[in-house]
A and B are shown apart, each in its own frame.
Chain A
Amino acid sequence: QKEVEQDPGPLSVPEGAIVSLNCTYSNSAFQYFMWYRQYSRKGPELLMYTYSSGNKEDGRFTAQVDKSSKYISLFIRDSQPSDSATYLCAMSGSSGGSYIPTFGRGTSLIVHP
């Protein structure tokens, strides 16, 4: 079993839909949970992160962490064609002072007008 599992998609939704992107993990030592957005031919851009468990909201984006189920989610409300990208989840915990994250493979999202 991979340490972080993420469905590669593609996930295709109509504009305005609520999008749910998810990752599962196996390492209970993870403390930081991140979501990155990567447009084609660009670098990963940090969208949001949470420390430990709980929810975090930023505009149309909400990140949730359920440590008991080892499951994290990113919700996008009122999705737009400009949200079309690959979304990477990442998780980390302290290892000798360096937080080396473990990344999911990414989910490709397509929002069509």
Chain B
Amino acid sequence: NAGVTQTPKFQVLKTGQSMTLQCAQDMNHNSMYWYRQDPGMGLRLIYYSASEGTTDKGEVPNGYNVSRLNKREFSLRLESAAPSQTSVYFCASSDNIQYFGAGTRLSVL
């Protein structure tokens, strides 16, 4: 089993550019999540999807949008990237316990 797969692994953007981070899980989990992790800040929830067809804001949703494409896939979109969005982004899926992907390292110049 691949578990939770994130693409891309690395990305460099210029301020104002847009991009979509992709996430797919093969564990048949209902819930999926997007986090960002910054030094000294821990994991912060951006958005989550409790089930296919629903999405909700987390702690830090500003500047992001999400799409739950189907049960397997949950994407995170940055419409106009800002330097403050430089971070490591993790996708997770869960039944009652969360399992994480390997992360996407994003730099916004």
- Report the minimal beta-carbon distance from B45 to chain A, rounded to whole angstroms: 7
One of A34, A46, A97, A103 near B51 (C-beta < 8 A): A97
- Report the minimal beta-carbon distance from A17 to chain B, rounded to whole angstroms: 26
Q: Which residue of A lies closest to B4 (CB)?
A: A43
Tell me the complex Cα distance, A36–B101, Å: 13
Asked if A9 is at the interface of the complex by the 8 Å CB criterion, the answer is no
Which residues of chain A are within 8 angstroms of B51 by Cβ–Cβ distance?
97-98
Using C-beta atoms within 8 Å of the partner chain, give the interface range for chain B.
20 to 34
Asked if A100 is at the interface of the complex by the 8 Å CB criterion, the answer is yes
Residue contacts A-B, CB under 8 angstroms, 15 given: A34-B97, A42-B102, A44-B90, A44-B100, A46-B100, A97-B51, A98-B48, A98-B51, A99-B94, A100-B33, A100-B45, A103-B42, A103-B43, A105-B42, A106-B42
Chain B 9-40, CB-CB to A under 8 Å as 1, else 0, gives: 00000000000000000000001010000001
Which residues of chain A are within 8 angstroms of B101 by Cβ–Cβ distance?
43
Tell me the complex Cα distance, A100–B96, Å: 9
Q: In A68-98, which residues have CB < 8 Å from any B CB?
A: 88, 90, 92, 96-98
Asked if A25 is at the interface of the complex by the 8 Å CB criterion, the answer is no
Tell me the complex Cα distance, A27–B27, Å: 29
Q: Which residue of A lies closest to B88 (CB)?
A: A41
Chain B residues proximal to chain A, CB less than 8 Å:
31, 33, 40, 42-43, 45, 48, 50-51, 58, 90, 94, 96-103, 105
Which residues of chain B are within 8 angstroms of A66 by Cβ–Cβ distance?
none
Tell me the complex Cα distance, A98–B31, Å: 7
Tell me the complex Cα distance, A43–B94, Å: 15
Tell me the complex Cα distance, A103–B97, Å: 12
- Report the minimal beta-carbon distance from B39 to chain A, rounded to whole angstroms: 11
One of A46, A97, A105 near B98 (C-beta < 8 A): A46
A99 and B31 in contact (CB under 8 A), knowing A43-B101, A46-B99? yes
Tell me the complex Cα distance, A77–B59, Å: 36
3 cross-chain pairs, A with B, having the tightest CB-CB distances, nearest first: A98-B50, A43-B100, A105-B42
A90 and B98 in contact (CB under 8 A), knowing A42-B103, A96-B50, A98-B50? yes
